């Protein structure tokens, strides 16, 4: 039995175990996926423990995606450029870091719109924004970044060849695609964008998935935009993780159903997700 898991702090409400275990079962894999809560000060010991225990691979989540890089024996070039590792593969004792978040964003977007030559407005300039901007640029989109802290937008724009704008200029933003990578709307009925700008966009995506339909997506739908929920990016990045570990791509629908079932179960229990 091969063992996989997720390292993060906290990980109690992660949807990854539900998704990966459903895929292992459906594809007849002799493997199991668990949750490993790892406090920041224990990260180094935990990573060494992966090798000592022969754990085949892990997902990496907040707050370890950046710090884990220096503890690995290799980092794939995309993860290097994005500056974050969300997947570790244990290749016979050699731990290699990958990033599949950008692939998740790319597939979720390209399912709705061809990105080449399109203008994309990205809200936020944190870790999630880096993967999204990387995906957009790789697919040939023109990217404008709006962030509350302007200097962070500037840094990100410089790294990836995008344009930076002040948060206050958002009321004048326009383009084909709008993507929220900030935490605004997470478990709250708030939108990061003024509702009146949404009709200027064909597609609006939120990386927040609790709630599944954020206020941003609800308002975008009311304006006639196509909308993409954050769950799509989560599911598609998990499909790519699975592929790195097992060499097979499970049906995204299978993972999505497992994630939705886990979310619903939590809601029934009245728990709060992180
Ligand atoms: P993640 O790794 O999830 O992207 P992060 O790196 O902490 O998390 O980034 C959070 C992003 O949400 C940042 O762009 C942040 O803006 P600042 O750079 O100004 O901090 C943005 N953000 C968080 N709360 C916000 C709010 N209330 N209004 C606007 N932007 C917000």
65 is catalytic: yes
Q: Could you tell me the pTM of the whole model?
A: 0.96
Question: Ligand 1: which of 86, 145, 148, 209 to mutate, judged by most atoms within 8 Å of the beta carbon?
Answer: 148
The pair of three-digit structure tokens given for residue 111, joined into one six-digit string: 């399912």
Residue corresponding to tokens 């503890």? 71
Residue nearest to atom 8 of ligand 1 (CA): 126
Ligand 1 is surrounded, with C-beta below 6 A, by 124-129, 147-149, 152, 181-184, 192
Give the position, in ligand 1's atom list, of the atom nearest the Cα of 125.
Answer: 14
pLDDT value for 267: 78
Strand segments (E) across 15-93? 31-37, 57-60, 74-75, 87-91
Give the Cα separation of 62 and 1 in Å (integer): 27
Instruction: Please report the pLDDT score of residue 96 as a whole number.
Output: 98
Tell me, what's the pLDDT at 270?
60
Atom of ligand 1 lying closest to residue 129 CA = 4
**pLDDT tens for the 274 residues of the chain, in order:** 999 999 999 999 999 999 999 999 999 999 999 999 999 999 999 999 999 999 999 999 999 999 999 999 999 999 999 999 999 999 999 999 999 999 999 999 999 999 999 999 999 999 999 999 999 999 999 999 999 999 999 999 999 999 999 999 999 999 999 999 999 999 999 999 999 999 999 999 999 999 999 999 999 999 999 999 999 999 999 999 999 999 999 999 999 999 999 998 887 776 544 4
Look at phi and psi of residue 3 and say left if phi exceeds 0, alpha if psi is from -120 to 50, else beta.
beta
- Measure 98 CA to ligand 1 centroid, in angstroms: 23
The answer to whether the CB of 1 falls within 8 A of the CB of 32 is yes
Q: How far is the CA of 65 from the centre of ligand 1 (A)?
A: 16
Q: Give first-to-last CA distance, the chain, whole Å.
A: 30
Provide the CA 167 distance to its chain's centre, in angstroms: 22
Residue nearest (by alpha carbon) to ligand 1 atom 21: 182
Residue 272: what pLDDT?
A: 44
Measured in Å, residue 156 CA sits from the centre of ligand 1 at: 13
User: Would strands 119-123 and 177-180 be described as parallel, antiparallel, or unpaired?
Assistant: parallel
Nearest to 87 by CA among 272, 205, 238: 238
d(CA 35, CA 30): 18
Q: Does residue 52 sit in helix, strand or coil? A: helix
Question: What pLDDT was estimated at residue 268?
Answer: 74
């Amino acid at each position: 039995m091969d063992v996989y898991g997720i390292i993060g702090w906290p990980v109690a409400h992660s949807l990854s175990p539900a998704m990966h275990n459903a895929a292992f079962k459906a594809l007849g894999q002799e493997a199991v996926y668990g949750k490993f809560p790892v406090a920041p000060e224990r990260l180094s010991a935990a990573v060494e423990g992966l090798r000592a225990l022969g754990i085949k691979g892990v997902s990496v989540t907040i707050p370890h995606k950046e710090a884990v890089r220096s503890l690995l024996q290799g980092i794939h070039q995309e993860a290097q450029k994005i500056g974050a590792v969300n997947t570790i593969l244990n290749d016979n004792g050699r731990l290699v870091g990958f990033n599949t978040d950008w692939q998740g964003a790319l597939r979720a977007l390209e399912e709705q719109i061809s990105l080449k030559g399109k203008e994309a407005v990205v809200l936020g300039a944190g870790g999630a924004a880096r993967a999204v901007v990387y995906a957009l640029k790789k697919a040939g989109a023109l990217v404008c970044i709006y962030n509350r802290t302007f200097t962070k937008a500037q840094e990100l724009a410089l790294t990836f060849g995008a344009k930076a704008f002040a948060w206050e200029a958002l009321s004048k933003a326009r383009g084909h695609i709008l993507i929220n990578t900030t935490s605004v709307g997470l478990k709250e009925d708030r939108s990061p964008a003024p509702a009146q700008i949404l009709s200027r966009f064909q597609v609006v995506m939120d990386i927040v998935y609790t709630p599944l339909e954020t206020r941003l997506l609800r308002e975008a739908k009311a304006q006639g935009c196509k909308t993409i929920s954050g769950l799509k990016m989560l599911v598609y990045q998990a499909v790519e993780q699975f592929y790195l570990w097992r060499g097979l791509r499970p049906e995204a629908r299978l993972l999505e159903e497992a994630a939705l079932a886990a979310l619903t179960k939590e809601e029934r229990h009245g728990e709060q997700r992180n």
